[in-house]
Structures are given as structure tokens and as C-alpha cells.
Amino acid sequence: MKKKITVIKVGGKIVEERESLDNLLNRFAAIEGYKVLIHGGGRSATKMAERLGIESKMVDGRRITDLETLKVVTMVYGGLVNKSIVASLQARGINALGLTGADCNIIKAHKRPTGNVDWGYVGDVDSADGTMLSKLIEQGITPIISPLTHDGKGNMLNTNADTIAAETAKALSSIYNVTLTYCFEHTGVMRNPDDANSVIPQIDSNSYKKLLADGTISGGMIPKIENAFNALNGGVTKVIITRADAIDGTSGTHIVV
């Protein structure tokens, strides 16, 4: 039987404020067994870009990444946010290791082709190396992955953290029994965003189609759920969308195939 591993993705809002980060890290440290954390950091990147006089251009909530912006996200995601989490986890007795996709070549990507939009240094993932991650994990190391990949030609690339979480979870699923948890600001996927009690406990591909058609699921939730189905179809055992204070997986919305 495969060993269990928990892959947690947390968004920028949670990791960028000291109190919510500390709460999250306490909960993350308490998770038993193998675990991996994938983090965002978009708000910090936008703030840093602003301080440096670099305009943040977003399309559909995604950042257009010219060379100057790539430097900002590499500094902020790979340096500031990642190392703050690593040092904080070390203080909690977790032997954390901060990684970008370039480190140990764990996530290779290619520059997104220019279509209607020139995304610049934005990477679409080609492959994640579950075997290398597993070698690190089996040494007692807990990988903390920032939303950066590389193209193998010397360029770092800015890559969506939800996608990195799905691809990492898939890559690990040939070795482990993987639970992937997406943490965000709500208690789960909700029928009514104003009603905290309207969480949909379970979504499968049929109910997803209906929720999409009637507009219950829209906007930024669509790529999140598509990443969830992608992960499940790629071998991940369980995907949960929930709030950061419920990373034990007992509540939230369970996505199933």
C-alpha cells in the first residue's frame, strides 16, 4: 500500500499576513506524515512592483510578466515569501526546504506562446519530477514550493500556484496516496457567496457541468476546479477546496471524479 502524502496549496492572502500565516503554519506543522506546501504571493509581488515603479498588468487575474516583473516575482516568491515560510517552519521543528521549479529541476515549463496576449515570462508546466521530490521527502525534508518554474534554458518562469499544486500532486501520485487541498478565503465552493452555510459538500464532473451552466461556479473558481479534476484524472486520490483553518480536510468541498 502506498504511503500517504498531503499537498496543501495556500494563496497569497494567507501567507502574506503574519497572523494568518502563523495560524496556517501551526496547522500545517501538525499534519501527520509526509507533506508539501505550495504558496502564492501575488499581493506582495504587486506591492513590491509598485514600490519599484513597475506597473502590474493583469489579464483574467493572471500577471503579464515582462523581464522586470520576472525579477520582482523571483525575488518575492522565491526569496521573501518562500524563505519566511521556511524559517518559520524550521522554528516549528519541520525540516522545510524552499524550492522553485528550477531547484533540482523539479518543475520544467515552457514560455506560454503569444496568442491574443503576450504573457512574457509566464510558464506552462511540462512536467514535475515526483521521483526527485520523493527522494527529498524520504530524507525527512518538507518541500515548500513557490510559484516559479524554469525552461531548462536558463530562464525562470512565473507559473500559477494552483497549477503547480495540481502538477506536483499528480507527479507524486505514482509513489504516494495523495490528498490535495486548495485553501482559500471561503469555507468551500458555495451556492451563495454571501451564505457561509451554503458550501457544496461534493462536486463530481456531472454536477460541475450543471453548476457551471447555471452560473453558480464562475470566474476564478473555474480554473481551480479544472485543476482539481486534472489532478484527480492524473492519479491524485482526493481533492478538497476549503478554508485555511480547515486543512485537516474534514470540511470544505470534496471534488470527485
Q: Can you give the binding site for its own copies, defined by CB under 8 A?
A: 48, 51-52, 71, 74-80, 82-84, 86-88, 90-91, 95-100, 102-105, 132, 135, 139, 141, 148, 150, 152-156
Q: Which is nearer to its own copies, 102 or 241 (CB)?
A: 102
Apex CA 247: angle with CA 101 and CA 183, to 5°? 55
Q: What Å distances lie between residue 71 and 45, 51, 142, 209, CA to CA? A: 10, 14, 26, 39
- Least CB distance from residue 170 to its own copies, whole Å? 21
- Least CB distance from residue 198 to its own copies, whole Å? 38
209 and 157 Cβ atoms separated by less than 8 Å = no
- The DSSP call for residue 60 is T
Q: Which is nearer to its own copies, 22 or 214 (CB)?
A: 22
Q: Which is nearer to its own copies, 142 or 181 (CB)?
A: 142
- Least CB distance from residue 158 to its own copies, whole Å? 12
117 and 63 Cβ atoms separated by less than 8 Å = no
- Least CB distance from residue 135 to its own copies, whole Å? 5
159 and 102 Cβ atoms separated by less than 8 Å = no
82 and 73 Cβ atoms separated by less than 8 Å = no
Whole-number Å distance between alpha carbons of 169 and 231? 7
Q: Which is nearer to its own copies, 25 or 255 (CB)?
A: 25
Q: What Å distances lie between residue 77 and 43, 45, 70, 191, CA to CA? A: 10, 8, 10, 33
Contacts of 232 (CB under 8 A, 6+ apart): 239, 255, 256, 257
* Dihedral pair phi/psi, residue 115, rounded to 5°: -115, -120
- Least CB distance from residue 92 to its own copies, whole Å? 8
Q: Which is nearer to its own copies, 84 or 173 (CB)?
A: 84
- Least CB distance from residue 81 to its own copies, whole Å? 9
Q: Which is nearer to its own copies, 131 or 218 (CB)?
A: 131
Whole-number Å distance between alpha carbons of 24 and 28? 6
Q: Which is nearer to its own copies, 160 or 230 (CB)?
A: 160
- Least CB distance from residue 76 to its own copies, whole Å? 7
Whole-number Å distance between alpha carbons of 185 and 11? 9
